[in-house]
Structure 1
């Protein structure tokens, strides 16, 4: 395959599928030792690439399923079909993965796959999700997705390009937040409160 050529295959033909094991809210503890990802965090805390983990658990290791670097994670349940159609690539080994997470493991570039699934395939994934009040997405459905992918070298180039843009967006967002805090502090200094005049 040339760098510019894209090949079409079923996702199930190029990847293995696994499920996480249940980690409830009560199992989360800041002082715990095992970093973990719960399914709801996939659409509230994380984007296409996961390099830092926010939650930890003390559940016994024997009760957990762990990530391999490059795994692509998609929630298997959620509130809306669009929310559930969210892919993230975990770039760390040995992260405990909670229940209601579809784990996609392949030798393709996971970051590329996350960006691809979140853009070109987002609506297709939302369409195959089932349910109204609680939406479910099964690995058997994901395996049937037709996907296009270029050579590994081209996947890396695309992943690097989009990741660098995300890095710039994140840096700018932090600058904006700092400026807002600075403005707020400055306004408090410039304008005396009615309490201070009493």
Structure 2
């Protein structure tokens, strides 16, 4: 790709593939495609439904880039008796009401209800993935242009009038292919991340005893003893509540050399502090009561927070994630968890410190892997945002 001189940015994007130098043209969307609405056959006539024709509703659009199977189907008679129209493969479905601007590309011929103004590209003028990649522009236009008293809706006539800058078709296809590959990579990383999160859920279920059991379903080799039910304060070094003389949300300064953690700021901390203490923190007051966070460093803790110190921090943290701490909270206006309640909380844990360490280290490594994949995914999404800004005029 090559950068473009600022003087021509208005007619060409900042970033282009080599070999393309012509100015982009401003065209109306209706000159490049047909904008097609949908329709709904009478729901009281069973002869119109459960046929072979896919029929989409807006709620089905937004998660997938390509769609090829709808939740509901209609018959040929239902198609004839309604304003629904068959849309070809490559149509960009565009929701036009009750959530304007969700899009998907048809991978199989289908119809829609009236909550769409779908874009059927002229194959000689407009590439499907090129216009799909401009979903954000389509959405903004629809939201600004739409009207209505009950709910905002954009019409097909309005969508046809939308002005867009486009290059000739071969460059469109090049750009469309680039974003399709990028979206495929993002989707692959998302699937990996989702799989890791599901695996973690499975391990949490199998590596801690289920209700009534004294051993988990899955264990590390060499450990065979039953787990013991103990109070939480028998498994940790200290459980306490912060002090009211510190206010949550204070900025770091010469006067407050340690960060202050409270129920609403419990996860906002700076890595610049020396790591000298390990805590599991749980908000004890308010809507966040029972939320768990790990922290290492020199901090001051407000009276809205309960802290738990342990040599085996990781195991304690994951042990507590298996228990809904919100159950310990009482009160309606400002739910409260007392440190004394946490101290007396009975939980099953291994007899040996070594097994606790194994379990804690296992989940810590798994969380680190999940965080790594999350960072990669976030980076790809940020890169896509940058390309979207620079590759369209």
TM-score if structure 2 supplies the norm length? 0.42
Once residues 122 and 163 of structure 1 are traced to their aligned partners in structure 2, the CA distance between those partners, rounded to angstroms, is 19
What's the C-alpha RMSD, in Å, of the aligned pairs?
A: 2.7
For 1:46-89, what per-residue CA distance to the aligned partner results, in whole angstroms no more than 9, with x for missing partners?
A: 3xx324324241x22133221112222211211xxxx3023333
- Aligned match for 2:56, one of 34, 37, 43: 37
Q: 2:41, 2:78 within 8 Å by CA — same for their partners in 1?
A: no
**Structure 2 match to 1:76:** 96
- What displacement does 1:148 show? 0.8
Q: RCO greater where, 1 or 2, for CA within 8 Å and sep 6 or more?
A: 1
- What displacement does 1:156 show? 0.8
Q: 2:27, 2:163 within 8 Å by CA — same for their partners in 1?
A: yes
For 1:101-152, what per-residue CA distance to the aligned partner results, in whole angstroms no more than 9, with x for missing partners?
A: 1122232112111212x13443222100113652211011111111111111
Q: 2:146, 2:152 within 8 Å by CA — same for their partners in 1?
A: yes
**Structure 2 match to 1:52:** 68
- Does residue 164 (structure 1) correspond to residue 184 (structure 2)? The answer is no
Q: 1:3, 1:151 within 8 Å by CA — same for their partners in 2?
A: no
For structure 2, list consecutive stretches of 5 or more residues without a partner in the other structure. Answer: 1-18, 80-84, 215-228, 230-393
- Does residue 114 (structure 1) correspond to residue 132 (structure 2)? The answer is yes
Q: 1:76, 1:136 within 8 Å by CA — same for their partners in 2?
A: yes
Work out the number of aligned pairs and report it.
Answer: 184
**Structure 1 match to 2:107:** 91
- What displacement does 1:14 show? 2.3
Q: 2:91, 2:119 within 8 Å by CA — same for their partners in 1?
A: yes
Q: 2:51, 2:75 within 8 Å by CA — same for their partners in 1?
A: no
Once residues 78 and 182 of structure 2 are traced to their aligned partners in structure 1, the CA distance between those partners, rounded to angstroms, is 38
Q: Quick check: which one's helix share is greater?
A: 1
Once residues 154 and 184 of structure 2 are traced to their aligned partners in structure 1, the CA distance between those partners, rounded to angstroms, is 30
Alignment of 1:181-192 (within 5 A): 181-192=198-209
- Does residue 3 (structure 1) correspond to residue 23 (structure 2)? The answer is no
Q: 2:96, 2:142 within 8 Å by CA — same for their partners in 1?
A: no
Q: 1:34, 1:96 within 8 Å by CA — same for their partners in 2?
A: yes
**Structure 2 match to 1:14:** 32
- What displacement does 1:159 show? 1.0
- What displacement does 1:36 show? 2.8
- Does residue 62 (structure 1) correspond to residue 82 (structure 2)? The answer is no
Bigger Cα displacement from structure 2, 33-42 vs 141-150: 33-42
Bigger Cα displacement from structure 2, 180-189 vs 148-157: 180-189
- What displacement does 1:25 show? 9.0
Shift in alpha-carbon separation, 1:188–1:86, aligned structure 2, 3 A: closer
Once residues 3 and 9 of structure 1 are traced to their aligned partners in structure 2, the CA distance between those partners, rounded to angstroms, is 19
Shift in alpha-carbon separation, 1:162–1:151, aligned structure 2, 3 A: same
SS at match of 1:136: coil
SS at match of 1:16: strand
Q: 1:67, 1:95 within 8 Å by CA — same for their partners in 2?
A: yes
**Structure 1 match to 2:116:** 101
